[in-house]
């Protein structure tokens, strides 16, 4: 009787096998908005359209790229809080069945998206932090005529929550986020006229420097190969 009620048979599929969308491959950023801040480093103190509080404004006004270089912290603008907003390319692969790897050629950075839960207590702070990942399913799509009733595609997205971040910048002109920041992202794909796109919606919550969460979306177009892939070093501006 227990079996007839539809009890689960065996363990759930591993995250790689359970993926409702395919994020792997090479992706190039589409700079369709915020061109002024994404393509060129803005002047010091330019916090236009950013929900910084008084402390965030003060820190932005005191930014000194020479000090970052001298301290070996020229990668502050390439941490997870700002990386996806930089122009460039991504290369996404599976490291194993529970870990997605997101490589960015901007600053030669690598993010690991872990499906194994919270960060270990010993996890140190870093530019990319520790990203917890989970699939979010939208539910079965309507069946199509001629398709067996038990074969319906499931659509969804990837949710990641990143903590253990080092203090960084979400704009290259020194507008900061702190080590207390929490970055929540939703990764999804769509296809338009045969072209695949990746959309990443970011929500950065930082009680130290922001008066309210900072929300933005960035888009990428899928490439058939690694054309244009060119890892570059971090620069202070």
- 151 or 29, greater pLDDT: 29
- The reported pLDDT for the residue numbered 92 is 98
180-226: per-residue pLDDT in tens? 999 999 999 999 999 999 999 999 999 999 999 999 999 999 999 99
115 within 8 A of 98, measured Cβ to Cβ: yes
41-93: per-residue pLDDT in tens? 788 999 998 999 999 999 999 999 999 999 999 999 999 999 999 999 999 99
CA atoms within 13 A on the CB side of 147: 10
165 within 8 A of 126, measured Cβ to Cβ: yes
Q: Which residues contact 197 (CB under 8 A, 6 or more apart)?
A: 30, 189, 190, 191, 219, 220, 221, 222
Rounded Cα–Cα distance for residues 180 and 178 (Å): 5
| % of the chain exceeding 90 in pLDDT | 77
Find residue 160's DSSP bridge partners.
Answer: 133, 185
User: Could you tell me the residue ranges of all domains in the chain?
Assistant: 21-119+126-138+153-223
* DSSP of the chain: -TTTTT---SSPPPHHHH-SS---EEEEEE--S-HHHHTSPPPTT--TT--B-HHHHHHHHT--HHHHHHTT-TTGGGSHHHHTTSSSEEEEEEEETTEEEEEETGGGEEEEEESS-SPPTTPPPBSS-EEEEEEEEEEEPPPPTTS-TT---EEEEEEEEEESBPSEESSTT--EE-TT-EEEEEEEEEEETTEEEEEEEEEEE-TTTBSS-EEEEEEEEEESS-TT---------
Structure tokens at 131: 């990203």
Residue 101 burial by Cβ neighbours in a 10 Å radius (0-12, 13-18, 19+):
middle
pTM over cut 0.95? no
Which of 38-42, 110-114, 144-148, 174-178 is least confident? 144-148
């Amino acid at each position: 009787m227990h079996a007839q009620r539809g009890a689960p048979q065996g363990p759930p599929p591993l995250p790689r096998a359970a993926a409702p969308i395919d994020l792997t491959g090479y992706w190039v950023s589409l700079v369709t908005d915020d061109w002024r801040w994404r393509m060129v480093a803005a002047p010091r103190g330019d916090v236009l359209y950013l929900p910084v509080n008084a402390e965030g404004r003060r820190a932005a006004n005191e930014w000194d790229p020479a000090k970052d270089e001298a301290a070996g912290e020229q990668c502050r603008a390439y941490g997870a809080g700002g990386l996806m907003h930089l122009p460039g390319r991504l290369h996404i692969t599976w490291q194993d069945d529970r870990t997605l790897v997101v490589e960015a050629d901007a600053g030669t950075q690598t993010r690991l998206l872990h499906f194994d839960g919270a960060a270990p207590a010993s996890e140190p702070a870093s530019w990319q932090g520790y990203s917890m990942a989970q699939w979010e399913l939208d539910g079965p799509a309507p069946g199509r005529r001629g398709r067996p009733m038990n074969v319906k595609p499931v659509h969804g997205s990837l949710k990641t929550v990143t903590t253990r971040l080092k203090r960084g910048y979400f704009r290259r002109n020194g507008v900061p986020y702190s080590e207390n920041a929490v970055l929540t992202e939703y990764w999804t794909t769509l296809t338009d006229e045969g072209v695949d796109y990746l959309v990443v919606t970011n929500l950065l919550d930082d009680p130290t420097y922001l008066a309210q969460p900072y929300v933005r979306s960035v888009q990428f177009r899928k490439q058939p190969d690694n054309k244009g892939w060119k890892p570059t070093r971090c620069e202070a501006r």
